[in-house]
Amino acid sequence: MTSAPRWATKPHVDVWRSVRRHGDTKTRKSRRSLAMPRQVVVVMRAHQRRELVACLAAGEEWTDERLVFPTEAGERRSALNVRRNFRTLLKEAGFKDPQAWTPRELRTSFVSVLSDHGIPIEVISRLVGHNGSGTTERVYRKQLRPVIAEGAEAMDHIFGDAAEGGEIG
């Protein structure tokens, strides 16, 4: 008996379709399955429980094929609906000009935060479905701390830490 692959047991989201006009992802490399962070899993399970209760209260049969975040009418959200809800959340969060933002900024933030935490650009590129790291680096990565430290760290490792004699800075 073989065990299931590790990824198959982790809660994940499959990115196999797109909101693009023809419904397919931009490239074949864009098709991917992404494991969800634990915090997201907790929130999504709570959301699912609330949806199940609401469904049963309405006398409807539950199915796992239901939309996760449908419109009020239970339909698939359009890009306009998503932008409108996103901007409402930004307004509630106190953003000065919510109309200036789009959900696309979340992609840039995702790339920048992962990069800032030392995740290699090649890994980030795979996560966002890019063919290579060029687009990820040029378009999406906005370093929060643009200090490139690898050279100094390597020299400290090679020649020792000179700060032992006193504080630098």
Calpha distance 78→21 (Å, rounded)? 12
Could you tell me the two tokens for 143? 């370093």
Token pair 């630098």 in the structure block, residue:
168
Closest CA to 110 of 131, 91, 129, 85: 129
Do 77 and 69 touch, CB atoms closer than 8 A?
A: yes
15 DSSP β-pair partners: 32
pLDDT score of 169: 52
Could you tell me the two tokens for 103? 């959900």
| Tally: H helices and E strands in the chain | 7, 2
What does each of the 169 residues of the chain score in pLDDT, given as a tens digit?
455 555 556 888 877 665 555 555 566 667 778 888 999 999 999 999 999 998 899 998 888 788 888 888 888 888 888 999 999 999 999 999 999 999 988 988 899 889 888 888 899 898 888 888 888 888 888 775 556 777 888 888 898 876 655 555 5
Helix ranges (H only) for 58-103 are: 79-92
pLDDT score of 65: 80
pLDDT score of 31: 74
Look up residue 98 and give its DSSP letter. G
pLDDT score of 1: 47
Calpha distance 15→107 (Å, rounded)? 14
135-147 core/surface letters (b: 16 or more CB in 10 A; e: else): ebeeebbeeeeee
Indicate the SS3 state at residue 127. Answer: helix
